[in-house]
Amino acid sequence: MFSVIRLCSRRAFLSPINNNSNRYRSLSLLARCSGRFGIQQRAIHSSIYLSNKNEKRPPNNNHEDATDEDLERVREAIKKFIKEKAQNNLDPERKRQIDEDIRRLEETIRRQQQKGAPPPPPPPNENGSGSSKIPPQPPVWNVNIFQVGLAFFLLSFLLDVFNTAEEQKEITWQEFRQKVLSKGYVSKLVVINKSVVKVYLNENGQNSPENSGHKFYYFTIGSIDSFEHKLQKAQEELDIQSDFRVPVEYIQEGNWTKAMFQILPTALMIGGIIWLTSRSVQSASGGARGGIFGISRSKAKRFNTETDVKIKFKDVAGCDEAKEEIMEFVSFLKEPSRYEKMGAKIPRGAILSGPPGTGKTLLAKATAGEAGVPFYFVSGSEFVEMFVGVGAARVRDLFKTARENAPSIVFIDEIDAIGKARQKGNFSGANDERENTLNQMLVEMDGFTTEDHVVVLAGTNRPDILDQALLRPGRFDRHINLDKPELEGRKAIFAVHLGKLKLSSSIFDLKNRLAALTPGFAGADIANVCNEAALIAARNDQKSVKLEHFEQAIERVIGGVERKSKLLSPEEKKVVAYHEAGHAICGWFLRFADPLLKVSIIPRGQGALGYAQYLPGDIFLLSEQQLRDRMTMSLGGRVSEELHFSSVTSGASDDFKKVTNMATAMVTQLGMSEKIGWINFQKKDDSDLTKPFSQETGDLIDSEVYRIIQECHERCTALLKEKASELEKVAQFLLKKEVLTREDMISILGKRPFPERNDAFDKYLNGNETDRIKKSERETDEKSSEEKPSD
């Protein structure tokens, strides 16, 4: 009997019986389990009643009724029995005592029933609210009026459909004339709503086998006049006398189901408006944040600095000056009292500007990771919606959330989407919503103080188009510019990304060489090069990433993918070879031209039939001679075609574009024309079609641009004629090998007659350095192959 008591008794006697509700709960649970002990449930329920009636009685002997003390003693005995059974230390005497106590409870119940005691109350409910003095509550029915109405509507619709299907049978006019009217089965015709004719059959028609007991048919008509004309003509053809012709009735009959279908869309629209209005009132009273459907709630994503933001300042390289400026924000958020006690105020915001891929967003995340505060990221375009007022509402919600979780950082990426300068005299109203959003942001940034400990960072590629009110002190105080990294910055960025790859040589050697090979690369470009190199190594089933993989990745990033499937004809291949050879010769023998690194005549990217990689240095000032050398080198391809072929091709179109832009800048912006002088006619942008000069000045500018380009062309022609044999060697080498490197140029033409202006060439790109890196890679591969069998 006690082998199954464990679970039931634990639930029934877990806590002392302190009041009636607890007693009811305990004894009710015991009653549920009593069937497994052989005790009747009604005995337990009766004992509940007895325990109420005999409250505070003194202990009794075995011939008196059981009391609360007896119930408590039974509970304790059962708990001890459970513990002894778990320890395999059963006491037979305790089992006997529990049996006697249960029998005593049964006798007490029997005596109470013989005395005519009231029936025991029902067991209490689960929450312990049951009582002998509280009558049971009637059941509450939760009726949904909409569901009931919908159910009645569907039921009536189904009944109407079934009745219609059973009672009606549609026929055509021809069937009506031949099978019904001609045989005299028609009792009368009823035209309903000027569109349906119901044909009532007489007794002969109903009893005929072909009608199968149908009382009527129906058919549709186009118009009343046509129906009457056809009916009259049919009866005349059937020789039906006028006294015996079929009577016709006209009635208007309503269908409430169709009427409901017509009313339903309007009712749903009115109900929707009422619901939206109630939601709006609830939102206005603070019941629901975000307004209708939450559309005014900010879409800013919060990053948890402990789980989501793992970026630190050590992961950001190549922008040391920007890091130094922005670390003041981190110091303020960590130790605000350090500045406040001096009376200093931390800048409320900072604009991070620079070319794409320079690390603006990465630097903002690193700021959040270092400061250890909530970081809210939102794009400027997420404030722009088609609904009026949504952008301003989202700005309010964003700053409200940031203040509630202060200290915090808000980063708005591409802020120029809403921060563009407001237009004067804008009568079209096209940008009113964007300007409202900008006005709300200006108010919010003025609305909070440095005591709120909220820092606003923003990123943009176009700081020149931002509104001046947004950039004034008190809003975005700091303007942090992130330029493309120089040689040392690229080394640091490569060191960060190379540490995540499996390399064959040391990081120090690779980062120096790769930094020299990638002038003008931003941080995102460098990350892409490292990833592409790893992909190429994995694609070729290599054990580690080598130098050649990085070189292929750089070529892919600059020139695109090699299009090996695009085969050139021998004539086209020869033209491309001489074209690229002309560029190479000019770059090799012109002092200020960019040094050549690699030339290829394998098609790459979109429309590029040849590819030449030069290595410009980190130069910030260009002299007139340097510009002329670059223009001359750009014209080398077309001049080579002119010298070696009877007709030129379209392959130099991109070169002409570069030359024209450089010559125009020399004349209109850089003051390198004696006739134009020291005047700047620079356009605002490419879409600016205005000319801030007269027609005569425009003609003079055109003539000066033509003169400069013509001089460079004559200079290039003279150089290639002088170096005709060298050009022929380079072109034949390209036709044979398809790829020409700097080492190949040295072996064919010898060293350049001018010292390299870029120190990285002699330091990191010389032949000895290349051989040393490749030797290190071979040693690493041999070492790994020797260790693998031992594993």
Burial tier of 764 (Cβ tally within 10 Å: 0-12, 13-18, 19+):
buried
SS3 sequence of 238-307: CCCCHHHCCCEEEECCCCHHHHHHHHHHHHHHHHHHHHHHHHHHHHHCCCCCCCHHHCCCCCCEEECCCC
Give 33's contacts (C-beta < 8 A, 6+ positions apart): 5, 7, 8, 9, 11, 12
Q: How many other β-carbons are positioned within 10 Å of the β-carbon of residue 127?
A: 8
* Residues 686 and 668 grouped into a single domain: yes
Q: Rounded mean pLDDT of 648-672?
A: 91
Task: Select from 481, 508, 538 the last residue of a domain.
Answer: 481
Using the predicted structure, report yes or no on whether residue 466 has a pLDDT greater than 50.
yes
> 591 near 623, Cβ under 8 Å?
no
* Residues 444 and 306 grouped into a single domain: yes
Q: Which amino acid is at 477?
A: D
* Residues 749 and 602 grouped into a single domain: yes
> 783 near 777, Cβ under 8 Å?
no
Using the predicted structure, report yes or no on whether residue 430 has a pLDDT greater than 90.
no
pLDDT at residue number 739: 86
Q: How many other β-carbons are positioned within 10 Å of the β-carbon of residue 726?
A: 19
Per-residue pLDDT band for 436 (boundaries 50, 70, 90) equals: confident
Q: What is the overall mean pLDDT for the chain? A: 76
Least confident of 296-310, 365-379, 396-410, 656-670: 296-310
* Residues 704 and 734 grouped into a single domain: yes
Nearest Cα residue to 4 out of 28, 48, 38: 38
* Residues 598 and 705 grouped into a single domain: yes
* Residues 492 and 473 grouped into a single domain: no
User: How does pLDDT run across 439-451, given as a tens digit for each residue?
Assistant: 888 888 876 555 6
Check the CA dihedral 595-601-606-607 and report its sign: positive
Least confident of 77-86, 208-217, 498-507, 630-639: 77-86
Per-residue pLDDT band for 35 (boundaries 50, 70, 90) equals: very low
Residue 776, token pair as written in the block: 């290190």
Using the predicted structure, report yes or no on whether residue 122 has a pLDDT greater than 80.
no
Residue 784 lies in a domain: no
pLDDT at residue number 301: 62
Percent of the chain with pLDDT over 90: 12
* Residues 626 and 500 grouped into a single domain: no
Per-residue pLDDT band for 268 (boundaries 50, 70, 90) equals: confident
pLDDT at residue number 155: 63
Q: Give the C-alpha separation, 722 to 585, whole Å.
A: 11
Q: Give the C-alpha separation, 708 to 712, whole Å.
A: 6
Q: Which amino acid is at 345?
A: K
Beta-ladder partners of 614: 596
At 200 the three-state DSSP class reads: strand
Residue 313 lies in a domain: yes
> 149 near 157, Cβ under 8 Å?
no
Q: Which amino acid is at 205?
A: G
pLDDT at residue number 732: 92
CATH number at residue 461: 3.40.50.300
Using the predicted structure, report yes or no on whether residue 395 has a pLDDT greater than 60.
yes
DSSP state of 184: T
Nearest Cα residue to 452 out of 493, 401, 415: 401
Q: Which amino acid is at 427?
A: F
**Total count of domains within the chain:** 5
> 454 near 585, Cβ under 8 Å?
no
Q: Rounded mean pLDDT of 508-520?
A: 84
Residue 527 lies in a domain: yes
* Residues 203 and 82 grouped into a single domain: no
Give 440's contacts (C-beta < 8 A, 6+ positions apart): 391, 392, 395, 396
At 186 the three-state DSSP class reads: strand
Active site residue 580: yes
* Residues 476 and 493 grouped into a single domain: no
Q: Give the C-alpha separation, 361 to 372, whole Å.
A: 17
Alpha helical stretches, state H, 115-255: 145-167, 173-175, 203-207, 224-237
Per-residue CA distances from 747 to 107, 303, 336, 633, 685 (Å): 119, 57, 64, 21, 46
One of 580, 642, 726, 777 is an active-site residue; which one? Answer: 580
CATH number at residue 246: 3.40.1690.20
Residue 153 lies in a domain: no
Least confident of 14-23, 352-361, 640-649: 14-23
Q: Is the full-model pTM beyond 0.75?
A: no
CATH number at residue 518: 1.10.8.60
Find the angle CA(432)-CA(434)-CA(440) to the nearest 5 degrees: 100
Q: Give the C-alpha separation, 104 to 61, whole Å.
A: 10
User: How does pLDDT run across 467-481, given as a tens digit for each residue?
Assistant: 888 888 888 888 888
Residue 781 lies in a domain: no
Bond before 119 cis per omega within 30 degrees: no
* Residues 476 and 510 grouped into a single domain: no
Residue 388 lies in a domain: yes
User: How does pLDDT run across 732-746, given as a tens digit for each residue?
Assistant: 999 988 888 888 888
Q: Give the C-alpha separation, 390 to 299, whole Å.
A: 11
DSSP-derived pairing of the beta strands 454-460 and 408-413: parallel
CATH number at residue 682: 1.20.58.760
Task: Select from 233, 254, 275 the last residue of a domain.
Answer: 254
Nearest Cα residue to 107 out of 152, 151, 55, 46: 46
Nearest Cα residue to 73 out of 16, 8, 3: 16
What φ, ψ does residue 47 adopt, rounded to 5°? Answer: -65, -30
* Residues 590 and 511 grouped into a single domain: no
Q: Give the C-alpha separation, 582 to 112, whole Å.
A: 121
Least confident of 30-44, 97-111, 505-519: 30-44
User: How does pLDDT run across 550-567, given as a tens digit for each residue?
Assistant: 888 888 888 777 776 667
* Residues 457 and 503 grouped into a single domain: no
Per-residue pLDDT band for 656 (boundaries 50, 70, 90) equals: very high
pLDDT at residue number 363: 86
Burial tier of 152 (Cβ tally within 10 Å: 0-12, 13-18, 19+):
exposed
Residue 497 lies in a domain: yes
Taking the CA of residue 248 as centre, how many other CA atoms within 13 Å lie in the half-sphere pointing to its CB? Answer: 16
Give 175's contacts (C-beta < 8 A, 6+ positions apart): 219
Domain of 332, in residue numbers: 295-481
pLDDT at residue number 786: 65
Residue 130 lies in a domain: no
For 378, the enclosing helix (H) or strand (E) is strand 375-379
Task: Select from 452, 481, 510 the last residue of a domain.
Answer: 481
Using the predicted structure, report yes or no on whether residue 203 has a pLDDT greater than 70.
yes
